[in-house]
Structure 1
Amino acid sequence: MKTAPAPLAVARTEGARIILEDGRELVDGIASWWTACHGYNHPHIARAVADQLARAPHVMFGGLAHEPAYRLARRLAQILPGDLDHVFFAESGSVSVEIAMKMAIQFWINRGVQGRSKFVSFLGGYHGDTLATMTICDPEEGMHGLFAGVMPAQHVTALPVDEASEAALDALLRERGGEIAALIVEPRVQGAGGMLLHDDEVLRRLRRLADRHEVLLIFDEIFTGFGRTGDLFACLGAGVTPDIITLSKALTGGALPLSAAVANRKVFEAFWSDDPGAALMHGPTYMGNPLACAAANASLDLFEDGAWRGEVARINTALAQGLAPCRDAKGVVDVRTLGAIGVVEFDHVLDSGALSQQFAALGCWIRPMGRVIYLTPPFVTSDAELDRLTGAVHKVAGLG
């Protein structure tokens, strides 16, 4: 708080732009942390929220329910792969991961298996800032080192990107499987850990290992879900179905906070019992919020026509071409793209605050993290706006 630059005061938003109180317009290169996939102030989402606001902005989701939540749960079950049919709503992504972890632990308890309370997660991974999620983030590259030892340590290891690392994970699961509830991974892209890409074979290896050692598999698609990697969900494109999936970010098109942990039938059946003690006792105050569910249903309407696929492909081409010259910049070690994601990685940690100010002076909102400058723009970003974003990266990288 003492050393960070003062935040920029925002007056309003429109499309892919943030309009500041001083009149400046910034092309948003990161879609407000990847949420505003359809752009800001989309009229279809705005109308749905306004209509719901006139009916009921909120009711508790305990002993009461409402059609927007039921409709959204049905639709998610229809578009997710396999039998991921059982939806638990919350407000934030971190909380949905905590719920998924809680589900996985209680799955074993309800089945009469004791001691399975640990998780395997992966170097480069990031799953949230709440206490339990911090334990499954990368302990070295993440931002939670101060809290080492506060919560029980988990198994954070290398992704199985080749035969050697697959064998190492296989050995870990063989040796410690009796204490492990689940594996958890961000499929295709480890987002806040550095926009690190891995191919779909990694996910197939994880599914095989989870089945071999009888542990659950959780996919954290809070970043990758809803079109960001080029498929509606990364697991769909990879052809790999987890036991639990977590969703948030673009779920409502960036209009309101909402998240979900969605479980398959096997997980659900461990909680289906005449014993009330087998229930998943978790109740976020705003779980299933009607306004947020209305926004999410409207966002799913926009995904249904499929136009987003062409937009993501267009953005991918623009980012690949526009960022390619950055390979020649001093200190750049990699330039990579996937779907509507573009990344320039440096050999040193960047000063995010200072660089954000430089980008703002160039008419862009781009906020580097760690060693990367990344672009994850709204899908409605125009070609001219994409040129501005990539041109700003050129200049800040020392090429302009």
Structure 2
Amino acid sequence: MPDRIDPARLRALDRAHVWHPYGPMPGRQEPLVVESASGVRLRLAEPAHGRTELVDGMSSWWSAVHGYNHPVLNEAARDQLDRMSHVMFGGLTHEPAVRLATRLVEITPEPLQHVFLADSGSVSVEVAVKMCLQYWRSAGRPAKRRLLTWRGGYHGDTWQPMSVCDPEGGMHELWSGSLPRQVFADAPPDGFDAEPDEAYARHLRELVASHADELAAVIVEPVVQGAGGMRFHSPAYLRVLREACDEHDVLLVFDEIATGFGRTGQLFAAGHAGVSPDVMCVGKALTGGYLTLAATLCTSRVAEGISSGDVPVLAHGPTFMGNPLASAVACASVDLLLGQDWELEVKRIGAGLRRGLAEAAGVPGVRDVRVLGAIGVVQLDHEVDMAAATRAAVREGVWLRPFRDLVYTMPPYVTGDDDVARICRAVCAAAKEG
């Protein structure tokens, strides 16, 4: 193995050469150097604000639901490495990919029968959009090529996903003049448990009806809008969209990349509404945070429609599609999740978040405190000072990544009660300083 790089030298090389997410080049902030991780703890290469390890309150951007260095997932990876790490998926197949696709069909809403394995969540949304566009082209209705979504959403950083992110004030406003022009409804009213607003439901129905001739699909994040603002909305609006799409012959896509695999208290957020989409995207927690992998699932109607068209194939095929190593770990991660009482664990974490974040409601500058499933959010009435908020959390021994006006947490499901309480103290401290 190569010699270890001194942490100071590592930071210097990082600053000179490594472009971090949503950051400038060279970087202006000093990232913490993580040496290893186990359970819910990140071990630092050198102390930061007196801490040599941090409880991860982010599940590595919501993916590491089983924590780090999990023996079951490690074993699955080692076993697959001894067989093959990769083989092309064009003209070949293998057990890990077939097992994973079959498992996903078993656990997602029943109409979803076909699985396209993608490289990342953003790519899975690209594939979903391509499925919808190609479906209508195959049906002889190529004019149906626009998408409808609601404001406040986030679907990824590649081209089509950017076009259905919030067009004003979102991360991709920079590209508003270049992206495809989509149809935007108002953001759904706040409140998972709030009574549905009939005026808003009518707004959704009217938009679908008036644009039906040009709409390929409606795409939304069900129940929780993630990186667009961590907003929760009533599941009733998903039922409204399902009914409107059925009435006006429009496909419905659910982006469950952030909400899938139990995060909201249902295995998939669509379960809160009791409805099924025509196309569903999953990712993030799919491999337990070990490897990048996502999937786009669709109904037989969509698959058969594409396959009976003048171009009878889905025109997409990533080099690492169906990667055996990632697929094997994903199978192990899904089985690990379903082999335990994940619902009880998510409820336990949610109860701890409610208790621990209650004090934040009285902090000056805090606008709202909300919890759903294993998601805890403190929303400020101003832009968070990310550097100050992060330092405050680190002093409490917790890693958080605040953004915009939010200090939030999505802990791994294996986080113990004491560590949940620690995360809550860190969120409150970050809110006070941020």
The TM-score bracket by the shorter chain reads over 0.9
Match status 1:44 vs 2:72: yes
Question: Which amino acid is the alignment partner of residue 92 of structure 2?
Answer: L
1:7 to 28, 31, 34: 31
1:16 to 40, 63, 80: 40
Partner of 2:343: 309
Tell whether the 8 Å contact from 2:352 to 2:417 is kept in structure 1 after alignment.
Answer: yes
Q: Secondary structure at the match of 2:46?
A: coil
Partner of 1:236: 271
Partner of 1:185: 220
Q: CA deviation at 1:140?
A: 1.4
Question: Which amino acid is the alignment partner of residue 317 of structure 2?
Answer: G
Q: CA deviation at 1:3?
A: 6.1
Partner of 2:152: 124
Please list the CA deviations of residues 278-320 of structure 1 after superposition, one character each: whole Å capped at 9, or x if unmatched: 2101011111000000110001111222321111111000000
CA distance in 2, matches of 1:292, 1:83: 25
1:289 to 315, 318, 323: 323
Over 3 Å counting, the alpha-carbon distance change for 1:18 and 1:166 in structure 2 is same
Question: Which amino acid is the alignment partner of residue 45 of structure 2?
Answer: E
Over 3 Å counting, the alpha-carbon distance change for 1:13 and 1:230 in structure 2 is same
CA distance in 1, matches of 2:217, 2:353: 36
Gaps of 5+ in 1: none
Question: Which amino acid is the alignment partner of residue 152 of structure 1?
Answer: P
Match status 1:75 vs 2:141: no
Instruction: Number of aligned residue pairs: give it.
Output: 399
Match status 1:347 vs 2:381: yes
2:246 to 194, 197, 211: 211
Q: Secondary structure at the match of 1:77?
A: helix
Partner of 1:57: 85
Fraction of identical pairs, as percent: 50
Match status 1:163 vs 2:198: yes
Partner of 2:236: 201
Gaps of 5+ in 2: 1-23, 190-196
Q: Secondary structure at the match of 1:115?
A: coil
CA distance in 1, matches of 2:28, 2:349: 32
Tell whether the 8 Å contact from 1:27 to 1:389 is kept in structure 2 after alignment.
Answer: yes
Match status 1:383 vs 2:429: no
CA distance in 2, matches of 1:69, 1:130: 24
Partner of 1:337: 371
Match status 1:371 vs 2:405: yes
User: Under a length normalisation based on structure 2, what TM-score does the superposition of the two structures give?
Assistant: 0.89
Question: Which amino acid is the alignment partner of residue 116 of structure 2?
Answer: F
CA distance in 2, matches of 1:21, 1:347: 35
After TM superposition, the runs of 4+ consecutive aligned structure 1 residues lying more than 6 A away are none
Please list the CA deviations of residues 217-258 of structure 1 after superposition, one character each: whole Å capped at 9, or x if unmatched: 000000000010011111123211000000000000111100
Q: State the superposition RMSD in angstroms.
A: 1.5
Q: CA deviation at 1:166?
A: 2.0
Q: Secondary structure at the match of 2:109?
A: coil
CA distance in 2, matches of 1:102, 1:272: 13
CA distance in 2, matches of 1:339, 1:4: 35
Structure with higher RCO (Cα < 8 A, 6+ apart) = 1
Q: CA deviation at 1:276?
A: 7.1
Q: Secondary structure at the match of 1:261?
A: strand
Q: CA deviation at 1:176?
A: 1.6
Question: Which amino acid is the alignment partner of residue 134 of structure 1?
Answer: M
Tell whether the 8 Å contact from 1:160 to 1:169 is kept in structure 2 after alignment.
Answer: no
Question: Which amino acid is the alignment partner of residue 431 of structure 2?
Answer: A
CA distance in 2, matches of 1:253, 1:232: 14
CA distance in 1, matches of 2:388, 2:27: 11
Partner of 1:265: 300
